[in-house]
Structure 1
Amino acid sequence: MPVLNRIADFAGDMTAWRQHLHTIPELSFDCPKTSAFIKERLEEFGVDEIHTGIAQTGIVAIINGTGAGRTVGLRADFDALPIEEETGVEYASTHAGKMHACGHDGHTAMLLGAAKYLVETRNFAGRVALIFQPAEEDGGGAQVMCAEGMMDRFDIAEVYGIHNMPGEELGNFLTTPGPIMAAVDSFTIEIKGRGGHGAMPHETADPVVAACGIVQAIQTISSRNVHSGREKVISVTQIHTGSASNVIPDSAMINGTVRTFDKDVQTLIRKRMEEIVQGQAASYGVTAELDYEVGYPATVNDDTATGFAASIAREVVGDAKVNAETPRVAGAEDFSYMLEERPGAYLFLGAGPGAGLHHPKFNFNDEVAPIGASFFVRLVEQMQPVVK
C-alpha cells in the first residue's frame, strides 16, 4: 500500500498503540485511561501544546509548522461501545461489557501516527490542531467541544475526519460533497386508552388498534408527503403494549428513528408526524403524545474541501481507489457539529473484509492506520506548503 516511507517505518508502533487502546475501552465522556495514554504519546513525540479536559476527557494538541499560516484541524474519536467482545484476540477488552466495536481505537492510532510524523518533519506552514474526541457514540462529544469554544480558541480554519469502513476494499477512500451522513432523530409515542376484557372491546378505547393505525399512517409521510427524490428513512422499531391474551391494555408505546439529509425534510416529517399522531388518536378515541427528539445533524461536507481531500486521497492510494461521489449513508456522526462550525470533509476508508461496525466480533484492521496517517500528513503538507 503506497504510504509514506517514514510512516511505514513505525507502522508497528501504531499497531501497538491501537491494540493497547483496544484492551481499555471506555464509554462516552468517561475515558480517563484512553485520554492519559494519548497524552503520554503526544508528550513523547514533542508536540508544542497539549490542552486537556475539553469535553471532560478530550484533547486538542497543537503542532507548529514552519512559517505563518492557518490552523487545520484533524479529528479522531476514541470512545467505545457497551458491547461484550467476541473477537477472541489476545488483546481483547479487559473491561467487561465494553469494546472498541467501531474502530475508534484505530482512528486514534492513525492520528497519533500523523502527529509523530508531523512533529518530526514540520514540513508545513501554519499549525495543526489534533482533535482527540470522546463521546461520539453517545453524548455528542463533538458538540460539547465546539460549545466549549474549541474552534475559536485554537483558531481552526478547516477540519477533517476519517472513519474506517469494513467490507469496503482495503485502502479505498469514499466521500462526497454535501451531505454524506444523515441527521438522526428519535421519537416516542405514548398512547393512552381505556382497557378492558378482550371479549368486550366495545367497552374499551383500544390503544393496540390505535398503535397499529398510527404506525401505518406514519409510513405515508415518506410515500405521500416528501418528494420521492429526497432521501429519508422513517423506521418504527418498537411497539410495547399488553400483558395477556384476553386483556385489552390501557396504554401502548411506539418508538423509532428518523434519518434525513435536509433540514426542511426533517421539519416536514416532524410536523406531519405530530398531525398524524393527533389525528389517528382522535379517530380511535384515545389520546397520544409525541416526544420527538432531535439528535445529531446531517454531516455535510464542504464542496471545495471535499474536492481537495479527494485529490489528496488519490495521491496516497491512486485514482482507482477513490470514489468522490459515494452514495449517502443513513447512519449518523457527531463530526457534523464540527462541520457546522468550519468547512471541511469527512471520508470513509476501506478496511477490507471483516465483521461490521458495532458487531461483537469487529476488530479494526491495523493495515488501515498507515494509510489514514499518510492521508492526514499529505493533506496538511499540500494545504499549507512551506514557502521557500
Structure 2
Amino acid sequence: MTDDQIVEVMRSCRRALHARPETAFEEHATARLLAETLRAHGIDVFEGVGRTGLVAVLRNGAGPSIGLRADMDALPVQEANSFGHRSVHDGKMHACGHDGHAAMLLGAALHLNANRDWRGTVHCIFQPAEEALGGGKVMVEEGLFERFPCDAVYGLHNWPGLPAGSFAVNHGPMMAAFDTFEISVDGKGSHAAMPEKGIDSLVIASEIVLALQTIVSRRLAPQVPAVVTVTQIHGGDAWNVIPAQAVLRGTVRCFSEPVQRQIHGLIGEIAGAAAAMHGGRATLTYHYAYPPTINSDAETDLAIAAATQTVGADKVIYDCQPSMASEDFSFMLRVKRGAYIWMGVDGDVPSATLHNPHYDFNDDTLVVGMRYWHNLVLACGAA
C-alpha cells in the first residue's frame, strides 16, 4: 500500500468509529472493523484480549519485541457537533480522540506491513475501556505480556493546546494517579429548629471539605504536586430536617504511590477528627484507581528520537509539564518499561478540549501519528 492509500484508510476508519462510538467494554463493532481491516492485509490479529481488546502482531526477523498501544473506547457524552460523521448513538461520542488513536495505530500496522525496513516483532495493542474502567489493567491481568512478550511498551495521546505537527514528552511523570474516596458522615437527625437535639452531619461535612484543602497546602511539602477535590455532597431531603447522615465523594491526584498512601491516611485522619469534634463519626472508603503514568528514561529517549525524526527537533518539547489528568496506560508501565507521549492536534482553529461535546479529532494529524509509530519501531531496532 502507498502512504496515500493508508492515509485514506485511516481517515475512513476514524470517521466510521466516530460515527458509531462504543463505551468501555462495549467496543465489539470497533474491534471488528479494526480486525477485519488488518486481516484483509494479511496481518495476524488476536481478538478478545482484555474482553473487547485485540492485538495485531507483525514480525520481521530477529530484533526487539515492542508494544504500541492505542485506546479505542468512547465517552458517555452527548455530541454537540453537526458534521456528517457525528455520533449516531445518543449519549455516546468520541470526545477524547480514541477514534484517532485507533486509526493511527491501524495505519502504522499497515505501513509497517508494507515497508519492511525494520527488524523484530511489533505488537499493536488496541485497548478497550481506558475511560475510568481500567481496560489496561484488565489486559495486563489477563496475560497480555505473557501472550505477547514485549521488551517495552509505548503509548500516544492527542493533546489539544499543542500545535499540529508537534510532540511533548517528559522523562518521569506524564500523568497523575487517579483515586476516588467516599466519606460517610454519621450524626444525629433532628428538627431544623432544634439543632441542639441533634448532631449536624452537614456541618461536619462542610468542615471536612474545607479541612481537606489543607492536605496539599499544609501537610505535603510545597514541592510535591497533588490535588484533593471534593466533587459531591449528598445529605438531607427536607427543608426543616437536619439529616442524620451526609456523604462526600471526591478524587485524589498525585505523581507517586507513596504520596497516594500519605494522602489516603490524611483524609481519614482529618475526616475522623472533624466528625469527633462534633460528636459524630466519619467512615472513609478509599479506592486506588489508576497509578501515575511514569516514563522510563531510555525509552523516553527513543520516543524523543522518533518524534524528532517525524517532525524535527524544534517541534518536540522535552521535559514538559506533566498533567494532573490520568491514564490507565500506567498499568502497562507498571510491569514494562516504556514511554507515553502527547501529539499536538491544533490546526489554524484550535481544537476543542478533551471530553468536550464539540471535540473532533484532527484528521490532518493522522499521518503524523502513523509516521511517529514507524520511526519509533526503527529507533527501537537501532537501540
TM-score range, shorter chain: over 0.9
In structure 2, C-alpha distance between the alignment counterparts of 1:118 and 1:168, rounded to whole Å:
27
In structure 2, C-alpha distance between the alignment counterparts of 1:54 and 1:243, rounded to whole Å:
46
Counterpart in the other structure of 1:88: 82
**Which of 355, 362, 366 is the aligned partner of 2:363?**
366
In structure 2, C-alpha distance between the alignment counterparts of 1:367 and 1:216, rounded to whole Å:
46
Structure 2: gaps of 5 or more residues: none
Which amino acid letter does the alignment assign opposite residue 28 of structure 2? P
Local SS of the residue matching 1:305: helix
Does 2:133 match 1:139?
A: yes
Deviation, 1:244, is: 3.3
Alignment of structure 1 residues 288-307 onto 2, 5 Å = 288-307=282-301
Which amino acid letter does the alignment assign opposite residue 176 of structure 1? N
Local SS of the residue matching 2:151: strand
Q: Is the 8 A contact 1:307 1:324 kept in 2?
A: no
Counterpart in the other structure of 2:162: 168
Alignment of structure 1 residues 1-388 onto 2, 5 Å = 6-8=2-4, 10-47=6-43, 49-65=44-60, 67-352=61-346, 353-385=350-382
Local SS of the residue matching 1:174: strand
In structure 2, C-alpha distance between the alignment counterparts of 1:311 and 1:26, rounded to whole Å:
34
Report the number of matched residues: 380
In structure 2, C-alpha distance between the alignment counterparts of 1:332 and 1:72, rounded to whole Å:
23
In structure 2, C-alpha distance between the alignment counterparts of 1:219 and 1:185, rounded to whole Å:
16
The alignment's C-alpha RMSD in Å is 1.4
In structure 1, C-alpha distance between the alignment counterparts of 2:149 and 2:7, rounded to whole Å:
31
The worse-fitting range, judged by mean Cα deviation, of 292-301 and 164-173 is 164-173
Q: Is the 8 A contact 1:232 1:259 kept in 2?
A: yes
In structure 1, C-alpha distance between the alignment counterparts of 2:286 and 2:354, rounded to whole Å:
27
Deviation, 1:152, is: 2.2
Local SS of the residue matching 2:188: coil
In structure 2, C-alpha distance between the alignment counterparts of 1:71 and 1:184, rounded to whole Å:
30
Deviation, 1:7, is: 3.0
In structure 1, C-alpha distance between the alignment counterparts of 2:9 and 2:143, rounded to whole Å:
33
Q: Detail structure 1 runs of 4+ shifted over 4 Å in the superposition.
A: none
Q: Is the 8 A contact 1:125 1:385 kept in 2?
A: no
In structure 2, C-alpha distance between the alignment counterparts of 1:30 and 1:203, rounded to whole Å:
51
In structure 2, C-alpha distance between the alignment counterparts of 1:154 and 1:12, rounded to whole Å:
29
Q: Is the 8 A contact 2:71 2:98 kept in 1?
A: yes
Q: Is the 8 A contact 1:240 1:254 kept in 2?
A: yes
Local SS of the residue matching 1:92: coil
Local SS of the residue matching 2:213: helix
Q: 1:252 to 1:381 in 2, by over 3 A?
A: same
Normalising by structure 2, report the TM-score.
Answer: 0.96
In structure 2, C-alpha distance between the alignment counterparts of 1:121 and 1:354, rounded to whole Å:
32
**Residues 206-255 of structure 1: CA distance to partner in whole angstroms, max 9, x if unpaired?**
11111111111111111221101001000111112223333211111111
**Residues 291-314 of structure 1: CA distance to partner in whole angstroms, max 9, x if unpaired?**
111101000000111111112101
The worse-fitting range, judged by mean Cα deviation, of 9-18 and 214-223 is 9-18
Deviation, 1:6, is: 4.5
**Residues 71-128 of structure 1: CA distance to partner in whole angstroms, max 9, x if unpaired?**
1110111010111111111011121211111100000110011111111112111110
Deviation, 1:37, is: 0.2
